[in-house]
Amino acid sequence: MKYLNNNFIFDFDGTLVNLSADWKLLKKELINLSAEHSLKNELSTYERIIKLQMLDKNLYEKLSKIEAPNQKPIYEINDNVIEFIRSKLDNFSIISSNLTSTINIVLEELDLKKKCIEVIGLDKVSSPKPNKNPFEKLIINLKKRNYNFEGQIFYVGDKKVDQEFANNCDLSFIFYQNL
């Protein structure tokens, strides 16, 4: 068993980078898809996604065209976090409500892909944050590759849902806001 010497898990958008996706268009697309499948209007964004992923096999393909048009996400890096990862960490993981494909494109562009041992995006889970399903998925995937956490685990995020997620998973939470 290989133990991870850096027990850091990061959120993606708002923490490592700030994506410039058209979030209003994405929500509109979710509402339109919900109407096509006769889902209730009062559902939250996450509830819509959970229900739609069961009903629409092309959901993530449709959403990726908005999140990363032409496979080219537009973003600004959060210099402090990126520098911390580059200078202090040998490895890290990401659990995010963004799509895995978007995250991987950005990690490649930032030359961080080799340090990132696992990415759990929205498209890899049955229930998104704040549910602990993404963390459970991370642990399962790491164990398959003979990795294990040792000691305190930190989750770094920028939203209340990130703190709720960390609490649900018994992780130490670090709030990060790029000012």
Asked if 154 contacts 171 with a C-beta cutoff of 8 angstroms, the reply is yes
Round to whole Å and give the CA distance between 20 and 73.
8
Mean pLDDT of the region 157-163: 95
| Lowest-pLDDT choice from 19-23, 81-85, 133-137, 153-157 | 19-23
Closest CA to 85 of 10, 151, 138: 10
Whether the pLDDT of residue 4 is over 80: the answer is no
The boundaries of every CATH 3.40.50.1000 domain in the chain are 2-18+75-175
pTM: 0.85
Percent of the chain with pLDDT over 70: 94
List Cα–Cα distances, 44 to 58, 147, 154, in angstroms.
Answer: 20, 35, 27
**Out of 3.40.50.1000, 3.40.50.970, 3.40.50.2020, 1.10.1050.10, which CATH number does the structure's domain 2-18+75-175 have?**
3.40.50.1000
Distance in angstroms (rounded) separating the CA atoms of residues 101 and 71? 8
